[in-house]
Structure 1
Amino acid sequence: MSQSQSQSQTILIVEDDPVIQTITSAGLGKNGWAIRQANSADEALASMQADPPDLVLVNINLPDGDGFSLIETVRLGQAGSSDRDIPILVLTAQDDTASIHQAFAVGATDFITKPAKLALLVVRVEYALAAAARAQALADARIEQAVACRMARLGSWRLDHVTGRLQWSAGAAELLGCATLPETREALIERAADNNRYRLEAAFDSAIAGERGVDVECTLWLLDDQPTILRLQSEASRNQTWLIGAFQDVTGLRAFEDRARYRAEYDELTDLPRHRHFNRVLRDHISKQGGQPWSVTVIEIIGLSRINAMLGISAGDQIIATFAQRLRDVLSANAVAGRLEANTFAIASPVDTIDIPIADYEEWLAPLASSLSVAGEEVFVDFSAGASLYPSDASDAETLINRAQWAQQSNRDRRGHRHVMLYPETEGLEESGVLSLESDIRKALGRGEFFLVYQFQQPADGGSFNGVEALLRWRHPIHGVISPGRFIPMLEEIGLIGDVGEWVLDEACRQLAIWHEANATLVLGVNISAQQFERRDLADRVTRIARRHRVDPRTIELEITESMAMHNPDASQRILEQLRVAGFRLAIDDFGTGYASYESLLRFPIDTLKIDRSLIEAVTGDRRNRSVIRSINSLADGLRFKTIAEGVETQRQRDYMHALEIDAIQGFLIHRPMEADACTGLLTASSKEEE
């Protein structure tokens, strides 16, 4: 021990023999320790209460009682709670075994017989102080760990494979704020939210089988009046008896913005990325790994609607959750999976070569086709799959997904052929009704094949239509109307989306002028593409189109997505301010799916927030969705923004929007998107009803 260390430490010597007291004090004092003295047990206790020392050197025989009683008093905390762990060395002339045992029994740290050799005493004191410092450091570390676990709301669990018995770490119930925790696996699953049960059970089964560790976030009803969001994790089982893992209460971590983003990006039933987020993940992987080839496989479950009709929606959900877990089980280490639509999944994985034989696809897809038990029935899962490869089939994520989906749909039409079809194979199916869109879409604008449909908006509490959104469609001369999900990404890829977007704005303004002449007071919403938004002269272009058709800019609402606005907030603010000065209304579309901060919303000159349909879908059955929408509305109300709920399809959803004080709704409940003539007829009928 260094001199500087010892100078900061105090030793209390409890000794009634003045000679021994003087000699011991002088010897220890020369080694740098600060020395205090006491002649009796009472004096020692008073000294310790006033200023606890770092070490006590006590004689067994004292005038007002033996040293054993003093030690016991200190260890019981009667000298002050901070004294319990102070090292105590016993000085005794009684070197018999009984005295030594008694000293340790009442809490002595070490002993030394009198007369003590100074060199030996110094070593014993140094050892005792060092041991005390280590013990204190360990105690502090444990306290810090316990505090960190409490703050992070962490604990552990242990599952018996055979009996299903579930054990929790000490204090877990208190940590989670409940009286008791489930004592079996079945009880835990029973307390999970309905849409989490299949996923939780599949995760346990996979871990117990040694395939993949548990990593699942689920909602549990541990309290009657509020859910707890718990994340369970473990390694895959390495033991035939126990599965050991950790849990974290993440309820408090799912604050408004995080929860809204999660629900927008991940599918609730399967916990897989939705289409948009899957696309971003794939895009990031491709950009980070340079020329690494990637395979994208789209898989559609066949006959799910029939199973829903025969066995119920919950049976269909069980199939979806189990199928998703099987996808996870067959994933390679760097692969990602997503749920594109209700019964359609996608897997993207890096590959060594683009020359992958069909047999390799069939081999890893085979486990997906095994049967499963649903509602007491054995159900066989049939599916079709299509695959595309980067970079041979496409150079960007969205086109890869579209082409894999195109191959899957082509394969589905030829059921009985095999489970998977590669995108290049679709090129030879022209005469069978499968087309290559890219060459035709380049000619579509010149041929007048694009057209607009319009979707009405209406106050949430009913009344006249007060708005309409223009939506782009493509009518192919041979194959009919093509889904925008197929052709819009192609327009973006080949760089035509800007020109087509300007045509949309021109055509929409032409039609709006006609409706205004017929005294229909509508605000027209038009989507602005990212390529249009990046044009420096966007405000001038839009203004010229409005003037050409003699349309008041205040009746045109230009819609940009949240992600577009946040790509470059400073540039977005400048463009939006230019459009605002020109008189146009401005809206953030798909709000709740991106990363707009409050600070950005405060400075953007926005009129309307359009709440994304992903937040509306489950609003009737999920109180958290309602909380998110209520928060968005409160934010909009404070900033004086109008709110529009997109994708409203049922009366119950509309009732909730009205109750949550959303201003307007848009969706199939009002009417499906229609061409202009049909819209005019509906507007005429509506005006006659009001008269």
Structure 2
Amino acid sequence: MADALLRRCLDLCRELRAADGASGAPAALAELEHLLTALSTRAAAALPLQMRIIEQLREPIITMDLAGYVTGWNAAAEELLGYTAAEAIGQHILFLYADEAGGAVPDEMPELFLDNGSSFFEVRRRKKSGEVFWAGMSLSTIQGDDGEPLGLVAHLTEITNRRAAEEQLRLQARVIEKSEQGILITDADERIVFVNAAFTQITGYTAAEAIGRTPDLLRSGVHSADFRAEVHAAMAGAGPWQGEIVGRRKNGELFPQSVSISVVRNEAGEVTHAFSIFSDISILRATEERMQQLANFDPLTGLPNRTQLGQLLGQALASARRNDRHGALLVIDLFRFTSINDTLGNDVGDALLREVGSRLRGALRDEDVLSRVGGDEFVVALFDIRKREHSAFVAQKLLRVLGEPFVIAGHKLYVGASIGISVYPGDGLETADLLRFADVAMKRVQKSGETGYLFYSPEMDRRARENLRLEGELRNALANRDLLLYYQPKVSLRSGRIVGAEALLRWRHPDEGMIGPAVFVPIAEETGLIFDLGEWVLDEACRQLRAWLDAGIAARPVAVNLSARQFDARLPERVQAVLDRHRIDPRLLRLEITESLLVRAPEVVIPIMNQLVAMGLALALDDFGTGYSSLAYLKKFPISTLKIDRAFVVGIPGDDNDCAIARAIVTMSQQLRQETVAEGVETEAQMRFLQELGCDQLQGYLFSPPVAADAFADMLREDRRLAGVVPASSSID
């Protein structure tokens, strides 16, 4: 609309010039005056609004007429340049130029900027203070409704710091590109966005082949999942990481690299990029490994030599002194090797030694050390064994693998071995002594002329052989059903009646008669047989309960001891299967656990215990007070019964300490609404003291030793009572 009014004004001017005072002139002048008045009114109304908008903008804005004279100057421009609007408006824009030649003269400005309607420049300008700075200037035209330019708008942004940063970045980029170390940069999604020339030289991958892929491009596959997770965590911002990684080149070759990983974060603390700086150290590692191999390993078998064995054994013995750990040395000397080597030649002898080393290594744990110390003599170091006798199991295993024939160069060869064993700390804590003791024991075996092993200590040798014998016989007993359960009654101290029993395992040995669990259960624990034994006891107790019920006997709850090996996530399922198989009410079965189980892993144990209780089973804590007892455990675990260990019963009522402990346990149990059972009660004085304390039940020879199932059934039929107990009611308890 405004441009139409202006065109009309121009037309009127032409008419006035043509009329030259004619009669139409006054009318034309009147119309022109009206139009100009209208335009002036509109402009006056629009200008304050435009200026208010410009004034509110946070960016520096300068308006100029087409000649370059300042017509507008907002507060942001004043803040940036230091001039007030009053000082700037009316001046030519050149007053802001720096001294250097860098600006167009006023008459040239429209031609520079108006062709394309807008332009962007990076220019140097001077503030009122005299400071010269770099600015980004966006210059645009103000156009009228007819498309004709009316003026200019300049938008300034200070970029001095950015220009310096850009120069710094260009310098850093040159350093990165020329670095002899490989550099790899990934984005937040672990996609490669940059690699330098050294990366290509080391890995064989060009930038085009690497960018857009992940660092798994170089993955070798030799590292564990935990190791890879640690590296990925560093790339995700968990913290700087340095170490050695085995990578894979483009040609498939593996190579060791020394790597440093860090991340870049934005202002919000978010990881935007990760960068890895790495060097190829394959030549260095190859040299080091070769030197170490020559110094510490047997060139024939590749096994540690005597020097390396001494170093490893020295470290293990130092640890054993600090931590009271057990270990053993096994010196192995082959039979008939000298004869084979002399008869068939060194090549066959060397091949036989390599095969012997391979078999022995395969029979050991990863943490065990196998060394060839010279000729046909090998040494095994067991640096961590729970029991000293465990080394006998290892010796037997090694003799077994050596007993198989070796086929070398078409020859079927048989070799045996003599093994001498020394243990620490029992036999000493010095490397030389232990090797000498084991060598002495080995030579004693050699004198017998037979393959075998021998401990340096005669007593230990006897014990180890005895345990091995018992282990084999125990396995046969389990398979041949030579095991049976005895039942020791639990008696109420209120009524004197039998309220339950504990199932106790017995071994009916063909030669030695009845053997108690104290003899064979530790062996079962060591060898892993305890799981099978525990499952058999659980099944046999439920089978016996069903037999009593079918015979019309009012059976009482039977308690079964559980080992830690049985206590896993599938225990409730296995127990339920046994109950279902024998049709037993869960209230007739009680499970006894030890205190050591409670502290093993509460977060694992508690859910299992809760499942068992939800099934209707009651849980008892056996041998309470001998382990890690605390009120905190009793609050956390769904225990219904505490059993006072016989160690605290034997001294009452004469021993003040035992009396105090028994009293504390009973009091604690009463406060937690748990029943108490005292084990090992043998005298009436003990019974009366426990009665006075408020103990609920006793178990011991005062009433009955453990008896066979038939004898216990007779007690139930006869309703046998504990003498000296006055029944408080006619109920069972």
TM over 0.5: no
Give the TM-score, by structure 1 length.
0.40
